[in-house]
Amino acid sequence: MSRAPDPILVIDDEADLRELLDISIRRMGHDVVLAGSLAEARDKLAQGRYSLVLTDMRLGDGLGIEIVRQLSAAPERIPVAVITAYGSADNAVEALKAGAFDYIAKPVSLEQLRSLVLNALGRQPRDSADADAATAADQAADRAAALLPGHSAAMQEVRRSLSRLARSMAPVVISGESGSGKERAARAIHATSARAAHPFVAVNCGAIPENLMESEFFGYVKGAFTGADAERGGFFQAANGGTLLLDEVADLPLPMQVKLLRALQERRVRKIGASREDAVDVRVMCASHKDLAAMVAAGQFRQDLYYRLNVLALRMPTLRERGEDIPVLARAILDHLAVRYGDAHPKRLSPAALQRLAAYPFPGNVRELENLLERAYAFAESEDIELADLGQLDAGAGRAGLMPAPAPAMVPQPMAPYPYAPWGTAGVAAAPAAATPAPVPAEPPLAAAAVAPEPEPAGDPAERACRGIVFPIDLPAKLEAVERELILQALAQTNFNRTAAAPLLGLNLRQLRYRIQQLGIREAMDAADRGAVEGEGTP
């Protein structure tokens, strides 16, 4: 037998507002108990059970935050939300840090009130049976474990934090080295929260050109600017009801930080060209491998935005701190690759290969492990990934040691000369089409080849790049493949440090991030969950 949900306790010293909240919540189908003071509220809490407590911050005989602290310390973990005066963002942040589930500003919007109540009660088991409550908790734990596998003490601590973070609607800052799994953690929080049925939208702040940021975040109306031929929503509208992850939030330009701060405080956004603001119900999480507090001190990040975002915090451990999780992570990655490649049976690591991985420090963390296994999966010719398939993996070599061992030199094969001058050879006479190719010399002994490597072929670099290509080709796809490979090589050479890789490619950092996103490079993202590339997400 199921019973009706416990009533909602409303605490406010203004009779008119108490009556409004009473009527509005009862119309949603919930029973309401009213209290007009801090003392009366404590009496009500001692006498019964409640599914939600909604309290004003300023009461005649005290502060509502005292109720927040009382309930946050209680074992029952009743969700409590606060009502703040308009523009009192500091009070709201203080309440969230004290353990409040969420907040709502005066004048109270019935739409936001309804959303708050639904979020608070949506995660509560409606059946009183302990078995049902345990089942819901187990399912949430399973979802978190699927996104963040591992049995190390560091990961157990992360998963313990997830349940606390999932109960709140407060912003979260997730820190950790690049590739440590910050986006996966955000997805796990979302998946175990009351917002799990609504969208999770991850945004790579460093990959969006600065002149497009406002339209990407807030959307625009038709005719707002040249090319705006239809109305379009932004990231906030896409994540409405769910969670918005601002990945690499440290890369937001200062002007955009101002606009983001207003959106977070007012919970309203205005499309470019629109005459009114629209309410949005979005929980914001942020991820960064940079020290935001240090950036605030250096004047590179707004202090008020940092204060607004840094309500709850989670640090993701490096793979070096949880090396015992490598076998579990490797199996999960290989299972995912088997699905992608359509293999009935996933390839597995040989004992020697697994031992080599366990000895490697992984400066690129879980993302580096993913990239390494993906390459090894493609190179492996049997169902077992052997030591040789991992390439030159040296525990002291860093990422440079991840490149596969060079293949034996191939004897160049003859090809018909171009009937026209290739790119970059204007004015150079082309060879006659009927010319007979020179015979291929016999392969030299290996020892001789090692002593005397083949000299660099003569000719224009563009001509050399075109040799061996059989037409017709898909030129755009070919160029993208070459660009992608060059970017990957530059990233591998710099331990996937984008700042160091950009000048190697003649790009600035923002250009490199944009190309990483456009070319589908899995350099900084969680491809296992999304199945699509998105800039700097972390696995």
C-alpha 390/C-alpha 326 separation (Å) is 15
Pick the last residue of a domain from 281, 316, 351: 316
> Could you report the per-residue pLDDT of 163-185, keeping only the tens digit for each?
889 888 889 999 999 999 999 99
Choose between 421 and 106: higher pLDDT: 106
What per-residue confidence (pLDDT) applies to 171?
A: 92
C-alpha 401/C-alpha 413 separation (Å) is 31
Q: Work out the average pLDDT over 470-493.
A: 82
Residues of the chain above pLDDT 70, percent = 76
Pick the last residue of a domain from 354, 379, 402: 402
> Could you report the per-residue pLDDT of 307-323, keeping only the tens digit for each?
999 999 999 999 999 99
Q: What is the DSSP string of 508-539?
A: -HHHHHHHHHHTT-TTSS-HHHHSS--TT---
Same domain membership, residue 525 and residue 393: no
Q: Which residue has the tokens 């004897």?
A: 411
Predicted confidence (pLDDT) at residue 525 exceeds the cutoff of 80: no
Q: Of 339, 291, 337, nearest to 522 (Cα)? A: 337
Same domain membership, residue 72 and residue 153: no
Q: Of 36, 121, 120, nearest to 81 (Cα)? A: 120
Task: Report how many domains make up the chain.
Answer: 4
Does residue 442 lie in a domain region? no
Residue 219, domain CATH: 3.40.50.300
Choose between 358 and 391: higher pLDDT: 358
Same domain membership, residue 390 and residue 274: no
C-alpha 263/C-alpha 277 separation (Å) is 10
Choose between 49 and 440: higher pLDDT: 49
Strands 52-56 and 80-84: parallel
Same domain membership, residue 327 and residue 311: no
Same domain membership, residue 258 and residue 150: yes
Q: Of 487, 476, 494, 493, nearest to 517 (Cα)? A: 487
Residue 394, domain CATH: 1.10.8.60
Same domain membership, residue 324 and residue 311: no
Same domain membership, residue 271 and residue 177: yes
- Is this structure's pTM higher than 0.85? no
Q: Which domain holds residue 277?
A: 145-316
